[in-house]
Structure formats: C-alpha cells, structure tokens
A and B are shown apart, each in its own frame.
Chain A
C-alpha cells in the first residue's frame, strides 16, 4: 500500500462544477503539499499546510491531522484548471524529501 493515496485517479467535470480531490496518508507528517502539474511536466506548488485550511482564489485546501486526510477543493471550475493534482507529504523529522501520491488527472470540459 502506498504511503500517500489519492482519489479519484481521474476526474472529468463540466465548467463551473465544484471539485474535490482527496488525499489520505499513513505516516506522521510535518507538512502536506498540494501541487499542480501541467502537460510537459512543470510542477507548481499550490499549498503547503500542516493544519486547518488555506484558501487561494478558487482553491481551498483542508487537512485533518487526526484522520490523516486532506482535501483540495476547486470552486467554479474552469477548463484552465485541467491538470494533474498531486498530494505530497513530508514525513515528521524527515530530511525534507517529499513522498508523493500518484496524482489525480482533472479534465474540465467547457
């Protein structure tokens, strides 16, 4: 079993829909990252959080440390949100490297 599991693997939505991507992890962590990867490989960091909730524009990330679960929400989705969204965790006391989920491929149709 992977240490970081994401669901769903693939998600197709209509423009304007509210989207939720889930991430569960099995290790103790110091921080959790949500990353966005566009075709061509470039990765952009969306959020880094260790508790509670963060919001940036139409994106919201939440984390429940006790349940070892995080969600990424996209409100009023748009075709330009189409990308792979990756959850990654940094183990507590680790040297700093991240452990990644396999990603969720989101496609938003106009």
Chain B
C-alpha cells in the first residue's frame, strides 16, 4: 500500500513569507509526527498528533510554527514569517497508534530553503 507522502518535495521561499507543508500519513494510522532535520544533524521532534489533537507540541521552536490535523488524517505544518534558520528538511512520520512499541514510517521529507 501507499506509504507516507509529503508535498511539496522542495520549497524555496523568501524570508518573511508564509509556507505550508503537507503530510499524508498511511491510511488508518492514528499517530502523526513532524520532525525537522538541519544539515548534518539528526532529526528533531516538533509535534505529535494522536487523531485530530496535538498530543505534544513541545518541540515547536516558537509561535511562528503551527500544525493542524483537522480530520485526523492529513496534516499541515504552517510556518509564518519564515527566517533563514528555518531552512531544513521537514519530515513527517506516522504510526498505527501512538504507543511506545509502534513502528514509525517516514515520508520522504520536504526540503525548505528560505532565502
């Protein structure tokens, strides 16, 4: 079946602009995670959804970052007033449930470049 998909694969924007990144999880997966990976670093946790609600948003760096998952499936990560430091690969993952032993399946990522 289809894996996790993310769109766009690449996004180039100018400093100060607003961007939206989309994640389509595996069908039926209730848990969805957003991570951010800067060049040469491992991914860092941003936010975790269980169903429609954000169960843990402790990784969001500041209030310019926001994410939604209104119907418990597709999620959108929104970044306002982008800064050059926001440039990174944004990864989405999903798992069947948000339980400790459930495997996470990763999407291909969206590479965001802020000029």
Contacts and interface: CB of A to CB of B under 8 A. Distances in A.
Interface of A: 4, 30-31, 33, 35, 40-45, 48, 50, 86, 88, 90, 92-103
Contact of A41 (B31, B55, B111): B111
Nearest to A41: B109
B56 A95 contact: yes
Interface range, B side:
20 to 34
A100 B37 CA distance: 10
A99 B95 CA distance: 16
B29 to A, nearest CB: 12
Contacts of B99: 96
Contact of A101 (B35, B42, B48, B108): B42
B42 A102 contact: yes
25 contacts: A4-B42, A31-B100, A33-B104, A40-B108, A42-B106, A42-B107, A43-B106, A44-B106, A45-B103, A48-B101, A48-B103, A86-B42, A92-B100, A95-B48, A95-B50, A96-B48, A96-B104, A97-B33, A97-B48, A97-B56, A98-B35, A99-B45, A100-B35, A102-B42, A103-B42
